[in-house]
Structure 1
Amino acid sequence: MKVLVLGAGVVGVTTAYYLARQGHEVKVVDRQPSVAMETSYGNAGQVSFGFSSPWAAPGIPQKAVKWMFQEHAPLKIQPKMDSNMGRFMMQMLSNCNPDSYALNKERMVRVAEHSRACINALRDETGLRYEDRQRGLLQLFRTEKQVEAVGKDMKVLEQCGVRHELLDASRIAQVEPALARVPGKFVGGLHLPDDQTGDCHLFTNRLADYCREKLGVEFMFNTTIERLTRVSGKVEAVHTSAGTLTADAYVMALGSYSPFLARDLDIRLPIYPVKGYSLTLPVVDDGGAPQSTVMDETFKVAISRFDDRIRVGGTAELASYDLSLAEKRRATISMVVRDVFPEGGDLAKAEFWTGLRPMTPDSTPIIGATKYDNLWLNTGHGTLGWTMSCGSAQLLSDLIDGRTPAINPDGLAVSRYAA
């Protein structure tokens, strides 16, 4: 079967990999000159299966009001005349209750845990290296209130069989030795030993090379996808700047831009871009740098270790599709890495980057069929695109082939928004 994958970020390329492994003839189309040039380029570097949690949670509305008046808040809203932003915020608020949080958390962890198995198998099969480390993630708490609040997440982790350990202040330096240099800042941490780190841009490029050389996947770059046309309940063609493309099946993996193309087919995708920022700085003191990934719970900033670089990612900004670099956001993530690992990297030489995370109001990705027989969705992964990419892509390949899926797909398709 000929399959056309729309989008060459990490989700699109992993989708191509799993479909090609199943013997399909796969072509990937993207407007950029190479793979992983947008959201997948400078993400935080964490592959955080156990850290998969909905943004829409009880207490978030109250916190959001407080954050409006804080200089270094994890969430910022830029008021714009944008009805989509208002609709997204209302839908997100409707999920900020205990029942919805538990439901959405289970769905996310279900996909993430499957993704853990998939990326481990992919690495074994392909031999890919991408400055990866399998040393876990440490969520850091600055207050006792944060330690108490994580208890609900730990119950879900237990139900899903995710290894984890709550550490007191005296033990966090056993996991991340450099934290011994900043005593008294943290009262404890949640250690997820099976989480991973790495360079998502490097991973996606090397996987694309493997797909091209070993599996015969074709990539079309510098090609703008303009619109889709339909006939008799099926997608008929994709019209691009390079001409009209046809296939037996189509997969939309366009992240934050998926809603624009879906509108052509009268499909409403409740995806809104949440702007994130990152800094990449050279390591100057190995002993003062992280060895894996730490997440500062107070500021929602992740600090990950590559071979000789530190990637710092964080802040969430609702600003529509604005890709300008805001120095105030740089100040926040610079402050956090300076506070946690003051001797680890050289901030004066940091690369500043921003990208758009495709967020759904329930934080769960949209994976599966549509009302068109040959159109499939793999989008809306928010901040966890790389974390969930392999599991999402493998699941979608099962669904497209009509095989019994490796995990339960209930609640993952766009149909969950029908009501």
Structure 2
Amino acid sequence: MTVVVMGAGVVGSTTAYMLTRAGLDVTVIDRQDRPGMETSFANGGLMNPSDSGPWNSPGTVKNLGNMLFDDYSPLKIRPSAIPSMIGWGLRFLANSTPRMHKANMIANIRLAQLSLETLRAIRAEEGLTYDQTVRGTMRMFPPDGRMSEFVQMCREMEEWGVVFDTLDKGQILEKEPCVAPVIDRYIGAVLFPDDESGDAHKFTNEIARVAQASGATFLMGTEVIDIVRESATKISHIHTTKGEIQANAFVLSLGSYSPKFSSRLGIHLPIIPVKGHSITVPLNGWQGGPTRPILDDGLHAMITPMGDRLRMGGRAEFAGYNTAVDIKEGLRVLNNGFKMLPELKNHMNADSGLNWSGLRAMTPGGPPVIGPTRYSNLFLNTGHGPLGWTMACGSARITTDYITQGHVTTEAVAPEYYAL
């Protein structure tokens, strides 16, 4: 059986690996010159089931003004993006009720945990290295009262297998002495010991490498132009910049760009792009940084160790398909990193940092869209939002089940949450 996977990001490349291991003849198509060059290139690096709570928590309606007018809002709406997100936005708000938010959170947790379990098995079998850390993540809180609210959400997640510990200031310093100069900024922290992190770009290239070693073909520098129907229920082939490519089955895994192709087939994916920013800086031999990702809940900022580098990330914004690197936003991310880790200033040259932005493919509720379509040989694996890497291996496993078995074989997920 031949399968074409459209997209060589972390989701598409992992899907190709799983399909190849299942004995299928797989071809991956991507417009970039190597895998993982878009959204997977410099994301936050977190693989964290602990962050499964969707962004539209109850009370989101009250924060709309901040999203539009507050330059420090963790989720920013650019006025230029409003016309394209009205329908999506109404569904986003509809999913912010306590009942819907909890249901979506549980769906995210189940998929994220399946994914992490699958990743660990793949890593052990293939010997993958990608600057990973397996020491959990730590979220630190200023004395603004939000920590108690967050801990309550953690207790809800705990019912579904998310392990956490609360830390006081002394325990924070035991785990991460690097924050000693600013420890008075925090009242406490929550540690998630099962979380992991690493370089998603390196992982994507590693998983693509082992997929190719197992027989997959990666056609890089090849752009999808159109998905062509044979009938009302079957795809014939895809038209690319390098000609027509036929297969028995097709997987659409183009992230934020998936709706541009699915809509031509009458499949209207509830996905819009959300822009994320990061700064990656070399450590120049300095060993005084964090040993696991640390997050500042007040600044909405994070620092992730990646071998001889640190990656810092900040807020997200609805800005349409604008992928331009924003120098001002990059400086904001860097300055927040300095607030969390003041010593970093003495060990880096700001000019050597990589300032990056990329688009997350967001659904209104949070869970991605995975599975079959009205076309018998077209499958979806897209819309993972900020949890693309966290969910990549689990999503690939589910997609492979649908293509090879016709249904999901694991009881770890509830497939209806990921359907159109």
Shorter-chain TM-score tier = over 0.9
Deviation readout 1:333-385 (Å, 9 max, x if unpaired): 11210000111352342110010000111111111111111111100001111
RMSD: 1.6
CA distance in 2, matches of 1:289, 1:59: 36
CA distance in 1, matches of 2:299, 2:234: 45
Deviation readout 1:19-70 (Å, 9 max, x if unpaired): 1110000000011111001000010111112222201111223234235444
Deviation readout 1:85-120 (Å, 9 max, x if unpaired): 222222111111111110000000010000110110
Is it true that 1:41 corresponds to 2:45 in the alignment? no
Secondary structure of 1:180's counterpart equals helix
The amino acid that maps onto 2:291 is Q
After superposition, residues 370-409 of structure 1 pair within 5 angstroms as 370-402=373-405, 404-406=408-410, 407-409=412-414
Match of 1:360 in 2: 363
Secondary structure of 2:343's counterpart equals coil
Contact 2:67 2:77 in 1 (8 A): no
Deviation at 1:259, TM superposition (A): 0.1
Is it true that 1:226 corresponds to 2:225 in the alignment? yes
Deviation at 1:284, TM superposition (A): 4.8
Deviation at 1:327, TM superposition (A): 2.5
TM-score scaled by length of structure 1: 0.95
Contact 1:140 1:294 in 2 (8 A): yes
After superposition, residues 78-157 of structure 1 pair within 5 angstroms as 78-80=78-80, 83-157=83-157
Q: 1:370 to 1:409 in 2, by over 3 A?
A: farther
Q: 1:69 to 1:232 in 2, by over 3 A?
A: closer
Match of 1:410 in 2: 415
Deviation at 1:128, TM superposition (A): 0.7
Indicate the larger mover: 15-24 or 83-92.
83-92
CA distance in 2, matches of 1:168, 1:284: 31
Deviation readout 1:162-220 (Å, 9 max, x if unpaired): 2111112221122222112212011111100111111111111111111112x100011
After superposition, residues 234-313 of structure 1 pair within 5 angstroms as 234-284=234-284, 286-313=286-313
CA distance in 2, matches of 1:303, 1:310: 7
CA distance in 2, matches of 1:61, 1:176: 36
Contact 2:248 2:377 in 1 (8 A): yes
Report how many residues are paired. 414
Which runs of 5 or more residues in structure 1 are unaligned? none
CA distance in 1, matches of 2:78, 2:419: 28
Secondary structure of 1:343's counterpart equals helix
Q: 1:359 to 1:232 in 2, by over 3 A?
A: closer
Which runs of 5 or more residues in structure 2 are unaligned? none
Contact 1:177 1:287 in 2 (8 A): no
Secondary structure of 2:302's counterpart equals strand
CA distance in 1, matches of 2:227, 2:355: 35
Match of 1:31 in 2: 31
Indicate the larger mover: 10-19 or 74-83.
74-83
Contact 1:2 1:24 in 2 (8 A): yes
Deviation at 1:323, TM superposition (A): 1.4
CA distance in 2, matches of 1:181, 1:343: 8
Deviation at 1:300, TM superposition (A): 2.5
CA distance in 2, matches of 1:140, 1:410: 34
Contact 1:58 1:97 in 2 (8 A): yes
Indicate the larger mover: 363-372 or 72-81.
72-81
Contact 2:138 2:189 in 1 (8 A): yes
Q: Percent identity?
A: 37
Match of 1:174 in 2: 174
Contact 1:138 1:293 in 2 (8 A): yes
The amino acid that maps onto 1:389 is A
Deviation at 1:136, TM superposition (A): 0.4
Q: 1:224 to 1:67 in 2, by over 3 A?
A: closer
Secondary structure of 1:99's counterpart equals helix
CA distance in 1, matches of 2:217, 2:33: 14
Indicate the larger mover: 8-17 or 90-99.
90-99
Match 1:350 to one of 350, 353, 361? 353
Deviation at 1:414, TM superposition (A): 3.4
Deviation at 1:143, TM superposition (A): 2.9
Secondary structure of 2:275's counterpart equals strand
Indicate the larger mover: 344-353 or 230-239.
344-353
Q: 1:299 to 1:271 in 2, by over 3 A?
A: farther
After superposition, residues 200-215 of structure 1 pair within 5 angstroms as 200-213=200-213, 215=214
CA distance in 2, matches of 1:295, 1:208: 30
Match of 1:56 in 2: 56
Deviation at 1:237, TM superposition (A): 1.0
CA distance in 2, matches of 1:135, 1:173: 15
Is it true that 1:327 corresponds to 2:327 in the alignment? yes
Indicate the larger mover: 154-163 or 310-319.
154-163
TM-score scaled by length of structure 2: 0.95
CA distance in 1, matches of 2:285, 2:3: 47
Indicate the larger mover: 166-175 or 27-36.
166-175
CA distance in 1, matches of 2:138, 2:360: 22
